[in-house]
Amino acid sequence: MDPVVVIGAGVSGLAAAWSLHKHGIPVRVVEADDQVGGVVRSTRLDDGTVLDLGPQTLSTKDPDLQETLRQVGLGSRTLSADPASGRRFVVHEGKVVELPSGPLSLARTSLLSTGAKFRLLGEPFRKGGGPVTEGASEPDEESIADFVRRRLGPEVLDHMVDPFVSGVFAGDPEQISVAAALPELHALEQEYGSIVRGGVKRMQAARKEQKEREAAGGTPEERPRNRILSFDEGLQSWPRAVADALDEPVLVSTRVVGLARAEGDAGGWDVRIAREDGGSEEVLHAGAVILAVPAEVAARLLAGLDAGVAQALSEIPYAPVSVVHVVHPMDRVDHPLDGFGVLAPSGEDRGILGSLWPNAVFPGRNPKEQAVIANFVGGARTPERAMAEKDEILDMVRRELGDLLGLRGDPAHQRVTRWPRAIPQYTRGHLDRIREVARFEEATPGVRLVGSWRDAVSLGGCWATGARVGTEVARTRG
């Protein structure tokens, strides 16, 4: 049997490869970089401090993924977030303020005016439905900003949702499609006419289903709980372990330079590869191909097969982000760093999108006398900051941390990791672009596409999508 060739060894590609492997389907993974993981990168300093140079945590409630971690030998090396790190902060009027975590703290928060809080209470009674373009068969892709203003009010947008969008997408809520980026939230209004009412009804339905199962003699089913995870050597331990568990080693430092239908009656696909060591080009014959690469790379590889899908993929924008680590003596930081981190709303005009505090999230992994602060610079609204000179970025970050967290003196270590195309932006029109991808897949059996640009930017979401596609391809090959 010809193998399935997976192009790209990021989280999505490795998830697809692992699913194929579990189903007994031969698979070869090709990766242009010299290591696996995509934007998931980790390093350990000489003093033992672990730094994640891209994403900082894995958030998941997928029991299959958690079982995979055990299967690839990460069970005893998995770290769960400390409950105390559940506190989240935002910058408000130049100060670090804790986000409300429940109804009582929401009533007391200084982030919202009394009027804004009353508007929140009225959300279940507000008429549903977004804007519709004349002649359109379905609602426009309303932006997150327009959706939140309409449902929850401008203050909730400015002080709570805006920093969330910066933290997750490094994006602009005025441009990102709510239906594409937050489909579950959008679906609550579409189905129930209200976010709050929909959330309550879904919880009631889940409880009713649980009671009916128990009444019928079934065993109580524990609802999966979301877990925030990392590993003793950082997040990259995960893709490395998955890659090592495959039957065939990942072909790293190997570019795919062409993709074409194979000639002859056997069918399949010819994947032309070139190794970075300068060797001659080779051809891998594949029974099927899964492209798990950035949108613009997929566009280039598919241009000769389908101009329409190549055009749609090329229109997906990415935001640049620089991840800036500052390791500082803890006794020279005024803030206790007793939470997950702090995000900065765009209205505060800070030089950073936010900061995460890994030592509070995973205590014990790093030397406790050091404060490890991971900062994020740039994003869709201020891309020039991510691409500035490294010394300029470091100076700006230290000023911000001095002002917000009370850092004093020189850091023990500082590092800038630049990601020119860090996070895909699900801007309005994204669903049309994804429909074009689905059309291509329907018309082209044997080629599938996955990646953070498609359904989810989160690591857990990328794994889930990649695993699903791998399983679907395995069923066609078995």
What's the pLDDT score for residue 84?
Answer: 86
The C-alpha angle 348, 107, 403, rounded to 5 degrees, equals 25
> CA-CA distance, 434 to 427, in Å (whole number)?
12
> CA-CA distance, 317 to 437, in Å (whole number)?
16
**Burial class of residue 207 in the structure, from the number of CB atoms within 10 Å of its CB (0-12 exposed, 13-18 middle, 19+ buried):** exposed
Structure tokens at 170: 């490094």
| High-pLDDT (> 70) share of the chain, % | 96
**What backbone torsions phi and psi does residue 104 show, to the nearest 5 degrees?**
-65, -45
What's the pLDDT score for residue 206?
Answer: 76
Calculate the alpha carbon distances from 189 to 153, 179, 208, 361, 440 in Å. Answer: 15, 11, 22, 33, 31
Cβ proximity of 269 and 261 under 8 Å: yes
How many helices and strands, by DSSP H and E, does the chain display?
A: 18, 19
- pLDDT tens, residue by residue, 423-441: 999 999 999 999 999 999 9
> What domains sit in the chain, N to C, each tagged with a CATH number?
4-37+236-316+426-477 (3.50.50.60), 41-103+224-234+318-424 (3.90.660.20), 142-222 (1.10.3110.10)
> CA-CA distance, 76 to 232, in Å (whole number)?
9
Structure tokens at 52: 């994640």
> CA-CA distance, 200 to 100, in Å (whole number)?
19
**What backbone torsions phi and psi does residue 28 show, to the nearest 5 degrees?**
-120, 135
pLDDT band at 378 (very low <50, low <70, confident <90, very high): very high
- pLDDT tens, residue by residue, 268-296: 999 999 998 877 899 999 999 999 999 99
What's the pLDDT score for residue 267?
Answer: 82
What's the pLDDT score for residue 202?
Answer: 85
82 has pLDDT over 50: yes
Cβ proximity of 290 and 473 under 8 Å: yes
Structure tokens at 403: 């002002």
- Match 């947008």 to its residue by tokens: 157
CB count within 10 Å of CB 293 equals 28
- pLDDT tens, residue by residue, 196-235: 888 888 888 878 777 777 777 666 566 678 899 999 999 9
What's the pLDDT score for residue 25?
Answer: 98
The DSSP annotation for 164-233 comes to HHHHHHS--TTTBBHHHHSHHHHHHHHHHS-HHHHHHHHHHHHHHHHHHHHHTTPPPPPPPPPEEEEETT
- pLDDT tens, residue by residue, 98-145: 999 999 999 999 999 999 999 999 999 888 765 544 433 345 689 999
Widest CA span in the chain: 72
What's the pLDDT score for residue 465?
Answer: 97
- Match 């209205």 to its residue by tokens: 347
